[in-house]
Structures are given as structure tokens and as C-alpha cells.
Structure 1
């Protein structure tokens, strides 16, 4: 007995909830209906904002990121960002020379940094520089370049050339999206380019990202996950994503 449209939609949504995605081909075979019928089903469900269609499959949420200003972003997942920032601050050591990139999560990290002997910080974030300049024990270097107002940070070739002159022990990187296949992304192409140079200049790459950033993509690709040493995130990360990252050999700190 074939399923009616209501039953198909109910089962599609149940499978999405359980697995995170559904395949058009797999649904066609399981429900014994044509690919055209499944595509129509998914289109109707997408119009109701119950899923998002992408490359022969459907997923629960739109993976593409819309840029927001730093004033809006700092209010989103604020509690998680604060905990991530606190955990990141524990990784600093005396005589570290580190890069702190841009974003609200890394700014939260800066708020929890304690003065350490010989600590040098180079940052693209204006807010981070303002926070850390109050500590005479910390050597603060502001990266040069064009100021991007939406993130209160600098971007551009001046900063990229500056990075080529130094070597750092750690990079603390905030991102807009983490896709297990595509890697790390941000919403701005010039910021992505600057982040690539930060990675080249650093020995250890540490990503600070709340769990909402997973399975999302931004416009500018920074790097693949093979270039990342460690990710600090919150307990909202789903088990499927967590297990895949562990299987990839990723070092995870979950707060």
C-alpha cells in the first residue's frame, strides 16, 4: 500500500529529525514513488520552512549564513560564548605569542585573559585591542588595514603583509561556519583571506565556535578541517557532528 502525501511528509520530517538529512534517491526507493514526487514533497515542506533543499537532499536548517553586525552577534548565544572564552583563556601560557582574530567569541575570550609573563598578542579586532591594552604585562599589537565596521576588525593586504613578518605559537580563530566537508568559512572574502595568512603564521590553530556554527557555510572559505588542531565549543553540539569530528582526529573541548 502506497503512502499518501501526508504520511510521506510526516515520515520525511521524522527521518530529518533522526538523521539530520534525507536523500531524494533514498526516499524515492523507500516510498516507492518517483524522484519527481519526492522533489515536490520537499519543495512543499521547504515552502513551509520545515527543511532546506540542497544538492539532491534536504536538511533541517539553511546552511548559508547571513552577515550581522557585531552589536547583534554579541547578544546571540552570549552565555555559550562566555564559557568558550573562559576555556580558551586557560590554554594561554607564559611567553606565548598569539594571534586573536575577530568576532564576538574571540572578544569574549579576550575579556578572560589574565596577565602572563611575556605574553604577546597580535589582533585584528579593535575591541580586543582595547580590552588588552589595559594590561601592562601584555604586549599588544594591532594589525593594520581597512576597518570592517560590521565586525570592528581590520582586513586587507596591509594586515596580510604584516603577518608574513612574524611567527606565533597559537591562533585563536572565530568563524561564521563549520562544515565537516567544506571546512571553516566566514561571510567576508577579505576576512577569509586574512585568516588564511594567520593560519600560515601560527603553529597551532584553535577555533572558538559555539554549537550553532556547525553545519553552516559562509561566503568565504578559510581552510579545511585538516588544518585545525583544536575546536572549543559548547554542549549544544549534536552527537553526530561530535562523533564525526572525533573520528577525523579533531581535538575537541566541549564546555
Structure 2
């Protein structure tokens, strides 16, 4: 069963992100108006889940050369991912074909698609495929290849080659991080190859990512925001909105609910 984090622990993670990736225990104690012992208990829990790194006098974000564990990613920013999923399915027409890539946001999209009629879905996301099995009228193709137990997906040359056999209406992929210049980043070459296959073999290229992915580091460049047609997110900074406008990327964010049909 997936471990849950409390509202205060989630607020600590948000505060850490907003403070540039490092915050002191004293600042947290003052911000939440609680005892040092209470904050220490919260930080110990977040450290156990590998969501933060304990440093002298406080915490910082963990090193991002590797992604967080899948179970932790299922927890963190879950409501934002659900908002993105609910928003996206309002755009997908009946009877369309889609690629659904790896990650916890595509998983949430699959969970919200089970009542969507007439879909054809090609995915390497194990949890997405299992969720889609709840509707026998959805035609789901699961790629073959190497299973990553820690990420609950399928990767490798066979998986990438299988994606390239199709030409679909909508290619939907997540991202490990996004640089301030618009580079789309992943944590391994295998993830990068899959993302490229999705974006190169569809009519409409759709990026799904919550706002915490902006300026989050990851070591492998997969693509660039200029190669995206639509970007679905929960909220967007002024800096990123300006970049999307410059690159003619259509943005839909759940914070403004500007829903229009494709």
C-alpha cells in the first residue's frame, strides 16, 4: 500500500521548492508555528521517503541525477496530476488513438479515461494498461521489452520500436524536468528514446506536467518545448508562459480552466 504524506509534509515540500531547494528547520518552525520536535518528526518522515535530504540545520531537495521512486512520485503532487488528467480528457474526441507514456501523470490520465468511448491506446505504462482494462471497449496495446520494477513500466529497444509501428492522433508524454530554456529532460537514455518515439509518430504532440517540473533538473535531453503542440499543466509561471507564447505552444492550465475543443 502506498504511504501517504500529511498536508503539513506536502506544504513543507512546496515551501522547499519555493525557497530554491533549501530551507532551515528554524524557518519551518516559524512558518508553521510548531515546536522544533514537531518539525524534526516531519523532516525525518520526508527523509525516510527520499523526498528531501537532511543537511545541517535544515533540508534540501535530493540530488536529481536519479528520479524519485515510483511510489513516492504517486504521492507527491497527486491532486495537481488529477487536475491535469480531468482537464485533458475533455479535449480528447471519441474514437481517437493515443500514445500514453511513462510516469505518474499519464497513469492518472489512464484512470480518468476508462469511461471515454472508442479509444485505441498504445502504452508502455503498466499501471495505465491495468487501469484501462476496466473498460473492455478500449483497445489497449502494451509494448514489449524490459520491465523496470522500480518505475513500473517497459523500456528498451523493443518498446521504442513498437511505438514506431503506429501513427496516432495524440502523443501524450510526461517529462522528468524542464529547463528555463525549454529543454525537455528525462533521467535515462531509454526514457528519452521512448519520448522521442511518441513525439515523432503522432499528429498532435501533447506534454503533461505539473508546474513543479519547470526548472527541475534531469541529465538527458529528450526534446524541446518547440516540438510540442499543446502543454497541459496545473499552473504556469510568467516566465514559462512567455516562452510558450514565443514558441507558439498552446497552454491549458487547470488554474484558469480555459477549456476549448481541439
| Equivalent residue runs for 1:64-79 within 5 Å | 64=64, 66-79=66-79
Residue aligning to 1:239: 238
TM-superposed CA distance for 1:173, in Å, is 0.5
What is the TM-score when the length of structure 2 is the normalising length? 0.70
Stretches of structure 1 that go unaligned for 5 or more consecutive residues are 1-16, 21-46, 53-60
Q: Distance in 1 between matches of 2:182 and 2:239?
A: 17
Q: Distance in 2 between matches of 1:94 and 1:240?
A: 35
TM-superposed CA distance for 1:76, in Å, is 0.7
Residue 88 (1) aligns with residue 95 (2): no
SS of equivalent to 2:75: coil
Q: Distance in 2 between matches of 1:74 and 1:101?
A: 15
Q: Deviations over 1:85-137 (max 9, x none)?
A: 11111122122111000101110111111434431001110000000011011
Q: Distance in 1 between matches of 2:108 and 2:117?
A: 21
Work out whether residues 65 and 176 of structure 1, in 8 Å CA contact, stay in contact via their aligned partners in 2: no
Work out whether residues 172 and 198 of structure 2, in 8 Å CA contact, stay in contact via their aligned partners in 1: no
| Equivalent residue runs for 1:111-126 within 5 Å | 111-126=111-126
TM-superposed CA distance for 1:181, in Å, is 2.1
Matched pairs, number: 201
Q: Distance in 2 between matches of 1:221 and 1:81?
A: 23
Residue aligning to 2:249: 250
Residue 191 (1) aligns with residue 161 (2): no
TM-superposed CA distance for 1:180, in Å, is 4.0
TM-superposed CA distance for 1:183, in Å, is 1.4
Stretches of structure 2 that go unaligned for 5 or more consecutive residues are 1-17, 21-54, 255-262
| Equivalent residue runs for 1:1-255 within 5 Å | 64=64, 66-181=66-181, 183-235=183-235, 237-255=236-254
SS of equivalent to 2:251: strand
- Point out the structure with max Rg over C-alpha: 1
TM-superposed CA distance for 1:163, in Å, is 1.9
What is the TM-score when the length of structure 1 is the normalising length? 0.72
Work out whether residues 114 and 134 of structure 2, in 8 Å CA contact, stay in contact via their aligned partners in 1: no
Q: Distance in 2 between matches of 1:216 and 1:63?
A: 10
